């Protein structure tokens, strides 16, 4: 019993289940092997002794047919065709006898007596065939009449009698062997039944005591645990607990003992806490009275603060209105500055177009100057050619001289126009730079106006938000005033509760 307490209940239950399972497996395996052995013995019975008995019956039948074909063959001595036909049938039955004897010997190779009878059967069949075969051949050759053949065949009667007796002995031996095998099968069946019963009884002898001891080892500690639990529930923390072993019930009793010890500690701590509460409750009552006085003073101060917050809220509303007007003016100024910036941008665009046109005119004048230069060269070449022509080219030389003079004046005019255009382009470039600077300045003015408008808007929003928050604070102060008045009432209730707590602590200590 004490040894089992060192094992857990789970382990004991598993052990019992394992024993039952192993016994069932052993019983099933043993039964399977026994069935196989019985089947093998029955198969041996049918393939051995029963087959031997069948072969002996075949021997008797074949022996009778052999004698009948022998007599018919002798009686048909005058007809050689009939002799040949019955001689063939006689040979078939003789071969059948030899085959049956061979199968009989193969069916029981371990039986020495049966093998001896089979060997004797083969010997007698050989002697019988040696006596009858010559007679049959002479009858087929018509060299012997029926009377002589019958006389010679009579010499085989002794051999036939021995064959008949030997066949009977074979049948008796087969029957004895079959009966012995049947008895062995019955004995083995009884033995297996007793062995199965013994295995079942052995399993019960192991499992039943184990289960009973397990039940006792569980029920007793559980009853003790219930008794201790009832005592603890009634407030008795002085129960003595004794635990043995290491199973689940032992751990349960140890847990109950630890719980009882912990409850003792808790009760002691509760008593100490009750003493402390009794002393602290008096101090709380005194503190509540002081708190009540300070709460009344706080309520008076909060009323004054609420009045001041109302005046401050009115001032912030006026500031928010002024900030709203300033935001509107800043937005208008930002719009005007933005429109001025757009006009300056258009002027910048126009100056850029004028600058581009001036540069194109300068390019055209340059082209004209080039044409005048080439015309002067052509006129010079024409004058040279006219001089070479002499008197005939004089008129052409005058024309070439005039053309050259015109080309020089055109080139001079083109250079003067180019100089004027260049000066104009420089002035236009300077004007464009100034216009660009004015555009940048206007953009900065617009950006500054927008930033001013944004800042004024933020100020307006901040003033509105502050006004809203101040209203919220004003409401909170009013609520705080109301809460302070309620706290004053709660302090009085707390003083009453502290007095009640003091009385309860006194009763708890008692």
The parts of the chain modelled with pLDDT lower than 50 are 45-46, 48-49
Longest dimension (CA), the chain: 192
Residue 188 φ/ψ, nearest 5 degrees: -65, -40
What per-residue confidence (pLDDT) applies to 12? 63
For residue 234, the 8-state DSSP code is T
b/e map 19-57, b = 16+ CB within 10 Å: beeebeeeeeeeeeebeeeeeebeebbeebbbbbbbbbe
* Under 8 Å between Cβ of 310 and 474: yes
What per-residue confidence (pLDDT) applies to 2? 55
| DSSP for 60-76, written as a single string | HHHHHHHHHHHHHHHHT
3-state SS assignment for residue 270: helix
What per-residue confidence (pLDDT) applies to 476? 76
3-state SS assignment for residue 110: coil
The CA-to-CA distance between both ends of the chain, in Å, stands at 48
| DSSP for 353-387, written as a single string | HHHHHHHHHHHHHHHHHHHHHHHHHHHHHHHHHHH
Q: How far is it, in rounded angstroms, from Cα 5 to Cα 220? A: 12
Q: Tell me, which fold does domain 260-509 have in CATH?
A: Helix Hairpins (1.10.287)
pTM of the predicted structure, to 2 decimals: 0.32
Q: Which two tokens stand for residue 277?
A: 């509460």
Q: How far is it, in rounded angstroms, from Cα 76 to Cα 88? A: 14
CA distances from 477 to 142, 304, 329 (A): 160, 10, 36
For residue 156, the 8-state DSSP code is G
What per-residue confidence (pLDDT) applies to 46? 47
């Amino acid at each position: 019993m004490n040894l089992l307490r060192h094992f857990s209940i789970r382990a004991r239950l598993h052990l019992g289940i394992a024993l039952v399972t192993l016994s069932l497996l052993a019983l099933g395996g043993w039964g399977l092997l026994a069935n196989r052995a019985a089947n093998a013995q029955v198969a041996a019975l049918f393939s051995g002794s029963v087959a031997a008995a069948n072969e002996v019956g075949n021997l008797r039948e074949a022996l009778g047919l052999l004698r009948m074909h022998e007599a018919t063959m002798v009686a048909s001595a005058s007809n050689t065709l009939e002799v040949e036909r019955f001689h063939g049938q006689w040979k078939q039955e003789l071969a059948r006898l030899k085959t049956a004897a061979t199968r009989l010997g193969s069916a029981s190779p371990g039986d020495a007596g049966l093998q001896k009878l089979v060997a004797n059967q083969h010997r007698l069949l050989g002697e019988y065939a040696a006596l009858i075969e010559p007679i049959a051949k002479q009858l087929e050759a018509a060299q012997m009449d029926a009377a002589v053949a019958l006389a010679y065949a009579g010499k085989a009667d002794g051999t036939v009698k021995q064959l008949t007796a030997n066949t009977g002995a074979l049948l008796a031996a087969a029957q004895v062997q079959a009966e012995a095998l049947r008895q062995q099968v019955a004995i083995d069946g009884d033995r297996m039944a007793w062995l199965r019963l013994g295995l079942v009884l052995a399993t019960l002898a192991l499992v039943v005591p184990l289960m009973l001891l397990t039940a006792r080892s569980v029920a007793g500690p559980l009853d003790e645990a219930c008794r201790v639990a009832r005592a603890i529930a009634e407030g008795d923390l002085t129960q003595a607990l004794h635990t043995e072993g290491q199973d689940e019930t032992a751990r349960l009793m140890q847990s109950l003992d630890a719980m009882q010890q912990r409850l003792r500690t808790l009760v002691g701590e509760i008593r100490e806490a009750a003493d402390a509460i009794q002393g602290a409750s008096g101090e709380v009552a005194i503190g509540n009275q002081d708190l009540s006085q300070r709460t009344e003073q706080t309520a008076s101060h909060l009323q004054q603060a609420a009045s001041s917050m109302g005046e401050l809220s009115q001032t912030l509303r006026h500031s928010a209105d002024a900030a709203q007007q300033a935001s509107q003016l800043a937005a208008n100024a930002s719009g005007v500055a933005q429109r001025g910036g757009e006009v300056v941008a258009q002027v910048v665009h126009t100056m850029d177009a004028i600058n581009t046109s001036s540069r194109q005119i300068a390019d055209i004048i340059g082209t004209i100057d080039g044409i005048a230069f080439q015309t002067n060269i052509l006129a010079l070449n024409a004058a040279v050619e006219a001089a070479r022509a002499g008197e005939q080219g004089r008129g052409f030389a005058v024309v070439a001289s005039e053309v050259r003079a015109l080309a020089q004046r055109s080139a001079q005019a083109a250079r003067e126009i180019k100089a004027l255009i260049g000066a104009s382009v420089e002035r236009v470039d300077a004007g464009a730079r100034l216009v660009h600077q004015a555009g940048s300045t206007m953009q900065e003015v617009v950006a500054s106006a927008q930033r001013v408008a944004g800042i004024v808007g933020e100020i307006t929003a901040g003033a509105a938000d502050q006004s809203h928050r101040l209203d919220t604070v004003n409401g909170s102060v009013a609520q705080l005033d109301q809460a302070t008045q309620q706290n004053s009432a709660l302090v009085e209730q707390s003083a009453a509760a502290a007095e009640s707590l003091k009385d309860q602590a006194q009763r708890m200590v008692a």
